[in-house]
Amino acid sequence: MKKEILVGVTLVVFSLLLTEIWEKIKPEYFQKNDLSQDFKIEKHKELYSKGTEKFKEIREVYTELNSLLIKQYGLTPLEYKTIFKKFENVKLDLIDYRRELEKFSTDDIIISIKNILTVMQGDMQLLWIHAKNSDKIEDNISSVLYSIDPKKLPIPSKELVDKINSKIEKDLITFVSLPKYWTK
């Protein structure tokens, strides 16, 4: 009987000891899991707000381009270079954002970002072609204006306008027809 009591007491003490150890270990074990979950949740919140900012930047750069193209018939090379640089900066930021998303997010969001980048790349290429064409037209006009007297501008006349028109006619047709591709 003594032996059975001793075994019973030993089991009770051992159970209490294990329970006490578990009570001390349990919060640390679960707290590590909770911290990992909390980090993931916070990272998703951070990425979501970052994505909102990126989409605002995209909307702003497209709005600026549209307002420039609506206000004027054609843009100067400087205006094209300025808007192209903004497009490029937004695109590079979006690429960085996509890389960060690839670590923490789902494929659906990443595919959407890749599609937006593809559209932006196409628009940037058209913008670049348009800017180069604008440069070419400006250079051709300058060459006609300064071919007569490099030190001063000539007096405007019908003959001068005809010379300029003949020099830039082909490039001007291309320049005017390029924006049609943006609407397709």
Q: Is the pLDDT of residue 41 over 70?
A: yes
Look at residue 2 and tell me whether its pLDDT is greater than 70.
Answer: no
Q: Is the pLDDT of residue 18 over 70?
A: no
Place of tokens 């150890």: 21
Q: What is the mean pLDDT of residues 96-124?
A: 85
Task: Please state the rounded mean pLDDT for residues 38-46.
Answer: 78
Q: How far apart are CA 97 and CA 34, in angstroms?
A: 26
Q: Write down the domain spans for the chain.
A: 2-183
Q: What pTM does this model have?
A: 0.64
Residue 34: pLDDT band (50, 70, 90) is low
C-alpha pair distances (Å), 22 with each of 8, 14, 18, 28, 86? 21, 12, 6, 10, 58
User: How much is the average pLDDT of 132-147?
Assistant: 82
Mean pLDDT of 135-144: 83
Task: Tell me if 100 sits within 8 A of 60, measured CB to CB.
Answer: no
